[in-house]
């Protein structure tokens, strides 16, 4: 599924052109993304733990995406690869850990390439930081596992995963921290209960929330415009004496 979502090659960052994350095809394709007919959260338990769900309220509908900083996805371009329905599948564990990683990597700006191993003459998949956001690229020149695909939580194995996921989570602006719950409520998902919560479930929700933040505030916005907005936010944070906050400020952002 992810191969169909990979964006086209992008120009160097020196050009102030819009960042075509998840580049849009000229026509819809059945292979682009999971169907919009995603299952609703049941309100009981899924295969990985207990969810808080149920039928959405009668007045709940999609949030107006035009009220955010990024241009909303045009349905004429096919299925949005990080639509609400895809985010729901992430939190319900209906998409594999590796697929979640690759959705995040693509959004961050890593580009998948196939390199030839000259010894074995076989192709090897590599993710290069071709278009990665500046601050994130400085910290992670290689695409990090943010989910924990091994599901082994010994510190010597899991510490880098935990750190990368925490960095991703901290980069979400404060006013988007609860975006996932509010957005998926109409599909019947209201979050996880503590009973039965696992690291994998937590990280899936954090990755999905970051993808939602990216979709609404970062996707397709030229890097110079993102830097200008970052500077405006920084000045507001100074005025509000919030520069030392541990999460959600410009200090923790990916730009």
Render pLDDT for 4-44 as a digit per residue (tens, 0 to 9).
Answer: 344 433 334 334 444 444 544 333 333 334 344 444 554 43
Q: Residue 199: name the closest of 122, 147, 253, 136 by CA.
A: 147
The pTM score is 0.79
Alpha helix (H) ranges present in 96-186? 97-108, 134-139, 155-170, 179-184
The predicted-structure confidence for 182-212, as pLDDT tens digits, reads as follows 999 999 998 998 999 999 999 999 999 999 9
The predicted-structure confidence for 86-142, as pLDDT tens digits, reads as follows 999 999 999 999 999 999 999 999 999 998 888 888 888 999 999 999 999 999 999
The confidence score (pLDDT) of residue 151 equals: 97
- Give percent above pLDDT 70 in the chain: 76
Q: Residue 211: name the closest of 130, 112, 91, 92 by CA.
A: 91
Task: Delineate the domains of the chain, giving CATH numbers in brackets.
Answer: 2-8+40-224 (1.10.418.90)
**In the numeric block, which tokens belong to residue 67?**
């009220």
**In the numeric block, which tokens belong to residue 181?**
């719950």
């Amino acid at each position: 599924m992810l191969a169909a979502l990979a964006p086209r090659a992008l120009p160097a960052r020196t050009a102030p052109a819009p960042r075509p994350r998840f580049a849009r095809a000229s026509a819809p394709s059945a292979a682009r993304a999971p169907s919009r007919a995603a299952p609703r959260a049941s309100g009981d338990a899924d295969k990985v733990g207990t969810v808080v769900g149920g039928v959405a309220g009668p007045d709940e509908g999609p949030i107006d995406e035009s009220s955010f900083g990024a241009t909303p996805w045009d349905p004429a371009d096919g299925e949005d690869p990080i639509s609400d329905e895809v985010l729901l599948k992430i939190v319900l564990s209906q998409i594999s850990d590796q697929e979640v990683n690759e959705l995040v990597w693509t959004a961050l700006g890593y580009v998948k390439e196939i390199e030839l191993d000259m010894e074995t003459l076989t192709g090897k998949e590599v993710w290069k930081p071709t278009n990665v956001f500046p601050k994130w690229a400085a910290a992670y020149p290689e695409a990090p596992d943010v989910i924990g695909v091994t599901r082994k939580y010994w510190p010597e194995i899991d510490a880098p995963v935990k750190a990368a996921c925490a960095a991703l989570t901290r980069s979400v602006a404060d006013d988007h921290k609860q975006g996932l719950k509010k957005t998926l409520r109409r599909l019947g998902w209201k979050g996880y209960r503590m009973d039965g919560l696992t690291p994998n479930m937590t990280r899936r929700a954090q990755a999905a929330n970051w993808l939602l933040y990216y979709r609404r505030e970062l996707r397709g916005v030229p890097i110079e415009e993102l830097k200008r907005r970052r500077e405006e936010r920084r000045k507001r944070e100074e005025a509000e004496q919030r520069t030392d906050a541990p999460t959600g400020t410009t200090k923790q952002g990916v730009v």
